[in-house]
């Protein structure tokens, strides 16, 4: 194989990588390494996975509701969701053990990067009167969870075919050791955190 063919192959692999993943590798990781004074590149915080969860309380009374949640999550993430089932029966909620109560998807690798890029550049800007995300919802070890009130901001969802509004929680799991590192990573990736002035 010639050097030209090898270079062309490497270029095509690089080109097929998700845009945000390339940006992380080429720019963000170096920036974070400098900001935190890490001596080893492996100390730089990165993404592990993204979990998208849709709780469906009404599924206890209407089985079709869970089908709608599965369909929406499949369209939004490009991956078939796992059904979340009740671990125990709760009479006051008319809930039986093993009954479907929601659906979730765990995204890793390129699919995770592609979803995050669509979320940040296409979905969040479509939220009416959007003022940014709170940066107070980290868990102490650099992981971040936030909620969205409806699925319609994702362009994969056909507005005319929405049977009901469904909210979701999105958890971004990172290798950060603390919230400061996690916040810096997500900010560099493009998370639109509210400024202190806007939050007050």
CATH number at residue 132: 3.30.1440.10
113-116-118-119 Cα dihedral, nearest 10 degrees: 170
Mean per-residue pLDDT, 163-180: 90
CA–CA separation, 41 vs 154, rounded Å? 34
CB within 8 A of 134, min separation 6: which ones? 146, 193, 194, 199
Bridge partners of residue 52, in order along the sequence: 105, 170
Higher pLDDT, 5 or 97: 97
What's the pLDDT tens digit per position in 181-196?
999 999 999 999 987 5
Is residue 181 in a domain? no
Of all residues in the chain, what percent carry a pLDDT higher than 90? 55
Specify if 195 maps to a domain. Answer: no
How far is C-alpha 162 from the chain's CA centre? 21
55-70 confidence digits (pLDDT tens):
876 555 566 778 888 8
Asked if the structure places residue 34 within a domain, the reply is: no
What whole-number distance in Å separates Cα of residue 4 and Cα of residue 171? 43
List Cα–Cα distances, 189 to 22, 47, 157, 181, in angstroms: 11, 10, 24, 12
Q: Has residue 85 been placed in a domain?
A: yes
- pLDDT reported for residue 163: 67
- Burial annotation 52-91 (CB, 10 A radius, 16+ → b, else e): bbbbbebbbeeeebbebbbebbeebbebebeebebeeeee
pLDDT at 47 over 70: yes
74 is in which domain, residue-wise?
48-142+157-174
pLDDT at res. 199: 44
Q: Which of 67-71, 89-93, 160-164 has the highest mean pLDDT?
A: 67-71
User: How many other CB atoms are there within 10 angstroms of residue 15's CB atom?
Assistant: 8
Give the number of domains in the chain: 1
Q: Indicate the pairing of strand 100-107 with strand 168-174.
A: unpaired
In a domain, 58, yes or no: yes
**64 is a domain residue:** yes
For 104-159, write each residue's pLDDT tens digit. 999 999 999 999 999 999 999 888 888 899 999 999 999 999 999 887 778 787 67
R_g of the chain computed on alpha carbons: 20
Residue 183 lies in a domain: no
Q: Decide if 148 is inside a domain.
A: no
Q: Would the pLDDT of 10 be above 60?
A: no
Mean confidence (pLDDT) of the chain = 84
């Amino acid at each position: 194989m010639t050097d030209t063919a090898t270079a062309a192959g490497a270029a095509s692999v690089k080109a097929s990588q998700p845009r945000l993943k390339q940006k992380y590798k080429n720019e963000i990781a170096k920036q974070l390494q400098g900001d935190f004074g890490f001596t080893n590149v492996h100390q730089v915080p990165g993404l592990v996975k993204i979990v998208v969860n849709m709780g469906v309380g009404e599924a206890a009374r209407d089985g079709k509701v869970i089908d709608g949640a599965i369909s929406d999550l499949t369209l939004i993430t490009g991956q078939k969701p796992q059904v979340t089932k009740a671990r125990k029966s709760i009479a006051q909620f008319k809930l039986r053990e093993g009954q479907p109560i929601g659906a979730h998807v765990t995204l890793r690798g390129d699919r995770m990067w592609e979803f995050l890029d669509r979320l940040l550049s296409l979905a969040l800007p479509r939220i009416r009167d959007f003022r940014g995300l709170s940066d107070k919802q980290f868990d102490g070890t650099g992981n971040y969870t936030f909620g969205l009130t409806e699925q319609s901001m994702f362009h994969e969802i056909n507005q005319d075919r929405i049977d009901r509004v469904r909210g979701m929680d999105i958890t971004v799991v990172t290798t950060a050791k603390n919230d400061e590192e996690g916040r810096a990573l997500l900010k560099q990736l493009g998370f639109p955190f509210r400024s202190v002035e806007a939050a007050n």
